[in-house]
């Protein structure tokens, strides 16, 4: 069944709220795996602002407020400096801008690793202050206890295994994971651990394709691939990568447009008209009656 909708009314800065749609739920996402309907894969994109959420919502099953906003929005060198305040502010904006997609918010580095109790304090704040449906955290076996702790207390958790950007310093970079038999076994174990602990879905990032296929086959919950395999139960990309806002992107990104060039060219056209005094023209100025 297609999950693409058309908004009934246009949006603007003065009228930012689109027509309501029935929002997808965590049980519905899990059901897509259990009843075999993931023959139509789940679609997930990142969103960090209300306007982007409005534009993506009708086409997605899940909107991820990723900690990648640190790099995309704030120009930070990695996701590590992202704060809980940032995630809450952007998460609330995305919830306001969406009506169909399940909204999942990343838990930033340092907000959940110390203990399950710390994770609950951070996650409960995210849920209460944004209205999101779930949180996402990175890690496998080491985070299984935390996933179980949150899940048992009513906080749905999306897992994330393989290439985990918050662990970039420990991993030594952003290269693909699972090229050795030992590492492959560890990633599969990680995926199973968080799924068994109660994660409702698992992001599988930057791994050798066979690992993503194995996890998709063996996990009872949906896998969301990013640099994984087309056989995953769903796919996710950073929206700005997909739209061509950056010239350099990871290998697993397909650039569906070239918005960086379009924006630059448009700004150049505006600048030329301003400098030649051809803008504003008669159509953009007010005349006395």
CA distance 255 to 111: 32
User: 192 among the known binding-site residues?
Assistant: no
CA–CA distances in Å: residue 229 to residues 71, 121, 125, 162, 225: 25, 34, 34, 13, 6
User: 106 among the known binding-site residues?
Assistant: yes
Nearest residue to 98 via CA among 135, 122, 131, 134: 131
Cβ pair 73, 48 in contact under 8 A: yes
Judging by DSSP bridges, how do beta strands 62-65 and 42-46 pair with one another? parallel
Q: List the catalytic residue out of 39, 40, 189, 205.
A: 205
Reply yes or no on whether 273 is catalytic.
no
Diameter of the chain by CA atoms? 79
CA distance 131 to 173: 34
Q: How many CA atoms lie less than 13 Å away from 158 in the CB half-sphere?
A: 31
The tokens of 154 are what?
Answer: 């009513």
Task: List the binding residues for Mg(2+).
Answer: 67, 106, 138
Task: List the binding residues for 3-methyl-2-oxobutanoate.
Answer: 67-68, 106, 136
Query: What residues are labeled active site?
Result: 205
């Amino acid at each position: 069944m297609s999950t693409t909708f058309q908004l009934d009314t246009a949006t603007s800065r003065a009228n930012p709220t689109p027509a309501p749609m029935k929002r997808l739920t965590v049980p519905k996402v899990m059901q897509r795996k259990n009843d075999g309907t993931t023959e139509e894969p789940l679609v997930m994109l990142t969103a960090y602002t209300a306007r982007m959420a409005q534009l993506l919502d009708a086409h997605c099953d899940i909107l991820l407020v990723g900690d990648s906003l640190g790099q995309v929005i704030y120009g930070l060198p990695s996701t590590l400096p992202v704060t809980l305040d940032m995630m809450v502010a952007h998460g609330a904006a995305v919830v306001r801008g969406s009506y169909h997609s399940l909204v999942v918010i990343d838990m930033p580095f340092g907000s959940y690793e110390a203990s399950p109790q710390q994770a609950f304090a951070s996650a409960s704040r995210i849920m209460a202050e944004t209205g999101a449906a779930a949180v996402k955290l990175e890690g496998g076996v080491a985070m299984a206890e935390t996933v179980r702790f949150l899940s048992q207390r009513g906080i749905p958790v999306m897992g994330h295994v393989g290439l985990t950007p918050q662990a970039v310093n420990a991993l030594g970079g952003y290269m693909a994971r699972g090229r050795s038999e030992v590492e492959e076994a560890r990633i599969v174990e990680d995926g199973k651990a968080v799924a068994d602990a109660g994660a409702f879905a698992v992001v599988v990032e930057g791994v050798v394709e066979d690992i993503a296929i194995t996890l998709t086959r063996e996990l009872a919950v949906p896998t969301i691939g990013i640099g994984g395999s087309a056989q995953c139960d769903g796919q996710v990309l950073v929206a700005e990568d997909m739209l061509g806002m950056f010239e350099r992107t990871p290998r697993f990104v397909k650039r569906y447009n070239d918005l960086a060039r379009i924006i630059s060219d448009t700004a150049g056209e505006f600048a030329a008209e301003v400098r030649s005094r051809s803008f504003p023209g008669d159509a953009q100025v007010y005349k006395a009656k």
